[in-house]
Structure 1
């Protein structure tokens, strides 16, 4: 579904409240500060892509704040990927500041306070997706928040090109195609993140980070292999099992947990895909699970619904 919301025709005294509500519905609740609330103008068009949304936002100068009160209520953690098309954007989160201009993009995390602002009228694209969806492709995606990525080269440029192309083709797509395109857009984002040289060289040790990136790439390529485990990963990456565990020691997830969560997320997307007519057992086996009952228990523990209920909600 495509929708457009604008301040045109809205009473000047109600514009700030109208924009507050628009932002909360499209993304999540934020506190907004308007330099000139009575004369504020803004327009937001959004496109639904299954589990992903894409939007284009144009507005006058504005300051957005995500505060602890906004994520005290239970709800899924989400990420916003922002691509400025006009004017400089300032973003601070987790003690890091980004000043992004056209030709870059950065990632925002919903469940940590942040400030986002632009001092001039801005035009920007925003992709919204769940932490689960990105985390199923990139281990611990939180670590990439507040990093600025080049939007002009390689996989990064391909990701941005697809963002710009989707609205042009959207009306001709079926709902099934839109959901498929949404998943492909997340795949391209993951590829862009992992292929960016600054990610590989960030952190205390570029060698350690490069090893971790290679481990993650190997896991993604073999996620459907039921035999995938630490021994297989270590051998495939040319490192010892002891060194593999040492590399993962300071992360928030064990390798086994990430493999399991990645498989469950992939199975969830398969179940929600209207074009996928395979039986639940077939999907479970195709995603590396060897026991359907075990898969169903793990799925319910992870998502709070059974695989058949998830398919019914797709």
Structure 2
């Protein structure tokens, strides 16, 4: 069982985080206990865990990461084993939950006023939760679950259960921002906590409304990060460009450019730097290495000369010189 924790950096329970991996050999017998202990210590009573089935407790092979920012919890889970709740859930809850499922399926049990609902891979579900209900996942389900305060979101949702593509612009922005929150929690100042929390709420509202305020300065970092995430998956695409990214995120090119301005780098420069970085990594491949002309074509440079000049400007060596310098001695 591998587990790492981080206490709230403000020392008052405002922040909390931990990661857990019970997929390593020999971890299962104590995996569930360690997860529950870390959750109760780091995340707190405001986010109670349900009762799980005996089968889940006995075979808890899960890799996950959890972060809390005030009254928002972000949970990433990859369950090698299935996860199921058990017992008769009772009590009252007043939270909004969002499930973003990338692989597998997450089934939410029905209640007196809601039917059972399964969220398949590639989809999201957003709804207000008034009372606990059962849930279960199939093996190898990968998902992000956000627990959000109801005060500002319930009026937008009412009794609706919202579903849609996990690749919609609003969901991409919310996922990108929550990624940044998880990555920077240890460095957040009190003002940073406030900004991170505010942006999480605003982006959840954007999902509920099917639109976001692209003039809101707080959302610029999330927009730039979402564009970077999109670009990273399409670096070899000859059509990749700021207008293409803007279309996919449902914003104007000008809005995208303003968002990138907050990072100190334009969208065009980011794409070029990432392509150069991928080409540099390819030059260190011990076998099946592409030629300079092949790398230039693959990473969408106009020609070999253009690629060589850009590479030398960034790394201080030509591609051939760099490849030679990284070659093991005697090879």
Q: TM-score, normalised by structure 1?
A: 0.50
Partner residue in 1 for 2:202: 187
Cα distance, 1:190 vs. partner?
A: 1.0
Structure-2 change in CA distance of 1:123 and 1:62 (3 Å): same
* Equivalent pair of 1:56/1:124 in contact (CA under 8 Å): yes
* Equivalent pair of 1:156/1:193 in contact (CA under 8 Å): no
Q: Where does structure 2 lack aligned partners over 5 or more consecutive residues?
A: 1-15, 214-331
Equivalent residue in structure 1 for 2:107, among 90, 96, 121: 90
* Equivalent pair of 2:170/2:206 in contact (CA under 8 Å): yes
Equivalent residue in structure 2 for 1:104, among 108, 123, 128: 123
Q: Distance in 1 between matches of 2:61 and 2:206?
A: 36
Partner residue in 1 for 2:298: none
Partner residue in 1 for 2:10: none
Structure-2 change in CA distance of 1:103 and 1:164 (3 Å): farther
Partner residue in 1 for 2:52: 32
- Alpha carbon RMSD of aligned pairs, Å? 3.3
After superposition, the C-alpha distances for 1:190-238 in whole angstroms (9 at most, x for unaligned) are 1221127xxxxxxxxxxxxxxxxxxxx9xxxxxxxxxxxxxxxxxxxxx
Partner residue in 2 for 1:287: none
Note if 1:61 corresponds to 2:82. Answer: yes
Cα distance, 1:84 vs. partner?
A: 1.5
Q: Distance in 2 between matches of 1:151 and 1:134?
A: 19
Structure-2 change in CA distance of 1:113 and 1:21 (3 Å): same
Report which structure shows greater RCO (CA 8 Å, sep ≥6). 1
The structure with the greater share of residues assigned to helix is: 1
Look at both structures and tell me which one has the larger radius of gyration over its CA atoms.
Answer: 2
Cα distance, 1:95 vs. partner?
A: 3.0
Partner residue in 2 for 1:154: 169
Cα distance, 1:30 vs. partner?
A: 1.0
Q: Distance in 1 between matches of 2:210 and 2:87?
A: 29
Structure-2 change in CA distance of 1:67 and 1:39 (3 Å): closer
Structure-2 change in CA distance of 1:6 and 1:154 (3 Å): closer
Note if 1:144 corresponds to 2:160. Answer: yes
After superposition, the C-alpha distances for 1:165-212 in whole angstroms (9 at most, x for unaligned) are 43234344323212321221111111221127xxxxxxxxxxxxxxxx
Q: TM-score, normalised by structure 2?
A: 0.48
Q: Distance in 2 between matches of 1:100 and 1:186?
A: 22
Equivalent positions of 1:236-275 (< 5 A) are: none
Structure-2 change in CA distance of 1:66 and 1:131 (3 Å): farther
Cα distance, 1:65 vs. partner?
A: 5.0
After superposition, the C-alpha distances for 1:127-182 in whole angstroms (9 at most, x for unaligned) are 112212423xx44x34134x323222232332233233432343443232123212
Aligned residues: 189
Equivalent positions of 1:223-302 (< 5 A) are: none
Q: Say which SS state the counterpart of residue 65 (structure 2) adopts.
A: strand
Partner residue in 2 for 1:52: 72
Q: Say which SS state the counterpart of residue 183 (structure 2) adopts.
A: helix
Q: Distance in 2 between matches of 1:79 and 1:166?
A: 19
Structure-2 change in CA distance of 1:143 and 1:118 (3 Å): same
* Equivalent pair of 1:24/1:30 in contact (CA under 8 Å): no
